[in-house]
Structure 1
Amino acid sequence: MIAFIGNIIWLLFGGIFMGLAWWIIGLCAFVTIIGIPWGKACFIIGNFSFLPFGNEPIDRKYLSGKEDIGTGGLGFIGNVIWCVLAGFWLALGHLISAVACAITIIGIPFAIQHLKLAVISFAPIGQTIVPKEVAQRARVANETRI
């Protein structure tokens, strides 16, 4: 219930704009054909940007325990290209939004969400969004493997 209320307040006070920014950049990536992997990541992170409370970003390798094309060397190269072309601008948008939210005490949880999104803006390939409970189970499973 708290996550639901947080998401509603998030949307009403600006979260919708950054979610739309992710989706617009995702559409631009899809138009180029070669940008489809980036576009897919944009829509996944864009959905998280619309409703961040109750969900958490996690590396797919960490979640599944195995590498895939987005979590290996190609994913790294893709993230470098992404960061230069679009990631910096999305991160800047989230940082500006975080500062605006942090001005008021009640906006601090929203500022923290924007900072999480700013970090993921630099390297969205190889990331996925899961409910917090799933992310917690993945952390526990990875700790037992070490």
Structure 2
Amino acid sequence: MTLVRPAFKLTHRGAMLILNAAIDAAEDMGVPQCIAIVDEGCNLLSFIRMDGARVLSIESATRKAMTAATTGQPTGGIAADKALLLAEATSGRMTNLFGGLPLIADGHIVGGIGVGSGTGERDLQIAEAAVAAFNRHMNGGTSA
């Protein structure tokens, strides 16, 4: 009987690499953002509210990251009628707003990123840029 199993964990350095890549993308677009990085258990590892980002986006960015980490799927792809059920079933802790992506290393979900304060399209583009930076780093063989 196996009582313990090995697990992939996102480190604080990995979270900071992702956060900095998202900040760079947001600055390049000229869109201040709230950016949240969570681990696989939805524990907040890093967060920033960039100058000029909307205060109410603090919660939505965090919920996007948590939703992506929990489901292993990008946020924003659920039909509207199901999205309402999702919010209700989770007491509003999960969201279907665009801008959340899972963080995957070697086939394992290690966390999620959530970006909020711009349009859904911009939020998603910034999250995609951050995930791409993480993937490049992981594929380069350097640990995060």
Taking structure 1 as the reference length, the TM-score comes to: 0.36
Compare the two structures and name the one with the higher helix fraction. Answer: 1
Larger Rg over CA atoms: 1
Taking structure 2 as the reference length, the TM-score comes to: 0.37
